[in-house]
Structure formats: structure tokens, C-alpha cells
Amino acid sequence: MKASIKALYRYPVKSMGGDNLDHTALTKNGIPGDRCWTVKDEERGGIKGGKRFPQLMDMHAVLEHEPDALTLSPPVAITLPDQSHTHSTDPNVNQALSAAIGSPVSLWPLLSADQLEHYRRPPNPENFDQMAYFRALFARTDDEPLPDLSAFPEELFIYESSPGTYFDAFPLLIMTTASLNAMAAATAESNFDVRRFRPNIILDTDADGFVENSWVGKRLQLGSAILQINAICPRCVMTTHGFADLPKDPRVMRHLVQQNEGNLGVYASIEQSGNIKLGDQVEWLAPS
């Protein structure tokens, strides 16, 4: 199967809109500057994104300059849903974000991996219903199966993200034009706009259907970087939220469950750092 990079995306603030890139480095932590800021929930505690605060998806973030070894989280300018602006250096940034979200939050850069309390999940409330929580998180009805999370790092049940990062699970999310086309062909009811799914890399392929599903465990080279495909990506309630010109649409998850067990795309990690650019061809490698 032939495949090449069609699009590259970076999201400087977790769950906000971000940049289209022509080229980028890939390091062990993915694309430099990707999810290098986040918001914390000052009411319930914990690092939170669009699952808790869908208003974040209607904001847009731009880094002032590229990250470097000394500045993993460069200053960031944020456009709010009403098109007003705030900035990470503004002393009132937390008030501006809290007002736009309607709940008290604070903006945080990446902290080192040894700052475990920063990344730790808050304790569950009394009478916590774990099954109800997961059904709401993954937008599954009572008759739909929940995703298998066994492929994900066990530390994610302790921490909101792997300490030292703000990724949901792994550094990269890869999708193909084939899978997006398969969903668009399956139903005209919903708009499977790529912005709902927040990939880092879109690969254009000559195949049809959900080709990524068969990639788990495989290795590939893009540019001078080598990637390992870690897991299929189970989709969550974020894909149903409305933002910008996209309406709220719970049917997105109904169709994903019907067509592909609620999954779309694959997570990947970086085995060898390197550089990639639009048009780079995938080279499939032998198992390590």
C-alpha cells in the first residue's frame, strides 16, 4: 500500500485549534510545541481538555516562536470564541479563559515529569459510577460496547497524562484519507470534518476503508523518523461537540460505532527522531 503525508497539524494548547505545518521535527515527545500548554480545572481539579470544557475547541492558539531545549512551552496567543484575544503572558489570562469557559481554570505550560502532583488525577467523588463515567466519556449508549483500553499505559489511570506531557495517550495521532472517506461514504447525516478528530498526521493512501486498523504493532519510516504504531484510537465525546462552523452532532459517535467499533485513526510513538514534511512517502519496516 502506498501512502504519503497529506497534512500536518500541531495544537499548542490541549483541545484548542492550532497550526497547519509544512514540515516539522519529530522527537520522542512528538511534534515540538504540540500540546505544550493545557488548562487545569480549578473547581474539580486535574488537567482537562475538550471532554470537560468543549468551549476550548472553539478557541485557537498560536505560539510566539518555535520551542527549543530551554523553552518547551513558548508564549502562546489565544483567540477566544468571541474573537477577543488573550496571551499566556497576560496577568489576566486565567480570568479571560475562565470567563469564556464559564468555569474557573488556569493555563499551564509543560512541567517536568517529576512534578507528579501536577499530573495526578483528582480523587473520584463519593458514589462514583465508573461505568457511567466511561459511557459519558466515550459517548456510548447502554447497548454499545466500551472500548478496550488494555493497550494504553497503566499510568493513565493514575495521571491525567503521562507525566511530562499533555497527550491523551501517545505522542502522535495518525489518520488516513481512506478512513475519512469511508465515514463520509457511510452516511450523509454527519460531517466527518478532520477538525473533529484532531490528528497530527494525515496520510493519503491508495487503499480503501479503515486501513489503519491493521497497522498496530508495525513500524514505518517517514522522512528521517521511524515510528511505531501503538494502538487504535477509540473516539470520545469530543468528536460530537459543536465549534466554529461545525454543529453539535451526537450521531458522529453512532456512525463511528456502527462502522468501525467507535475507532478512527491510530496512535504512534517515535522510535527514532527525525524530520518529516508534506509529501514524504511511508516506508514500511521489518519488526524490530
CA-wise closest residue to 169 among 240, 238, 261, 267: 267
Distance CA 69, CA 71 (A): 6
Side-chain half-sphere exposure of 268, counting CA atoms within 13 A? 31
Provide the residue-wise pLDDT of the chain in tens; the chain has 288 residues. Answer: 899 999 999 999 999 999 999 999 999 999 999 999 999 999 999 999 999 999 999 999 999 999 998 999 999 999 999 999 999 999 999 999 999 999 999 999 999 999 999 999 999 888 899 999 999 999 999 999 999 888 899 999 999 999 999 999 999 999 999 999 999 999 889 999 999 999 999 999 999 999 999 999 999 999 999 999 999 999 999 999 999 999 999 999 999 999 999 999 999 999 999 999 999 999 999 987
What is the C-alpha separation between 93 and 72, in angstroms, rounded? 19
Report the predicted TM-score, pTM, of the whole model to 2 decimal places: 0.96
Pairing mode of beta strands 172-176, 201-205:
parallel
- The H or E element spanning position 174 is strand 172-176
CA distance 137 to 235: 9
C-alpha dihedral, 229 to 156 to 210 to 251, nearest 10°: -160
Distance CA(189)–CA(272), nearest Å, equals 41
